[in-house]
Structure 1
Amino acid sequence: MLPPPEDVLLLLAHPFGDTWTTLADWMEHGPGPRPLLRPVKARSRLTGEDLPLSVVPLQYRNDGAARLAIERGQLKDPWAKL
C-alpha cells in the first residue's frame, strides 16, 4: 500500500539548489516554468525512511520515460493547461 501523497517528501534537483517538497504539492503544481525539474529522491515524512521513486505515479515523475509516454498519448499530462 502506498503512503498518501502528503506523507511523501520529494527531493527536486535543481542547478541553483535542491529542495524538498511533498508529493501532494508536486502533483498539484509540477515543475512550473522549469520543464526538466523532476523528483530524484523520495522519503517518508513520518519516519524519514527512504522510499523508492515508484511511489511517484509515472505521469508525475517528469523524467524521460514519463515525458515520452505523455507525448505519445499513453499518459495524460497532469499539468497541461486546459
Structure 2
Amino acid sequence: MSKDYQDNRKKLGAMLKSETPKTPIQEVRPVPSPEPVADARQRPSHLNFWVEDQLMQRLKVYAAKSRKTIKQIGNEALEAYLKEHE
C-alpha cells in the first residue's frame, strides 16, 4: 500500500470518529403485543401467505369499495369457507 493511501485512510478514520452523524440514527422500538384476552379462543393469531397479484388487486378494490380492511375481509372469508366445509 502506498504511503498516501495509508495517510488518507487514517485521516478519514479520525474524521469519522470526531464528527457527529448528520443523518439521524434509526431508533428501534418494540411492537406492542395485543391486549391479553381471558378466553384463549379470542386471542389473535398471525397468518401470512402469498396470493397472485390479480387477486390482491381485486381484494384491494373490494376493500376500498366496501370500506373494510383486508383483515376483516380475510376473517369473513375464512369463517364462511370453514362453515361451508365443516
Q: TM-score range by the shorter chain?
A: under 0.3
Higher strand share: 1
- Whichever of the two has the greater Rg, that structure is 2
TM-score (norm 1): 0.20
Higher helix share: 2
Q: Which has the higher contact order (CA 8 A, sep 6+)?
A: 1
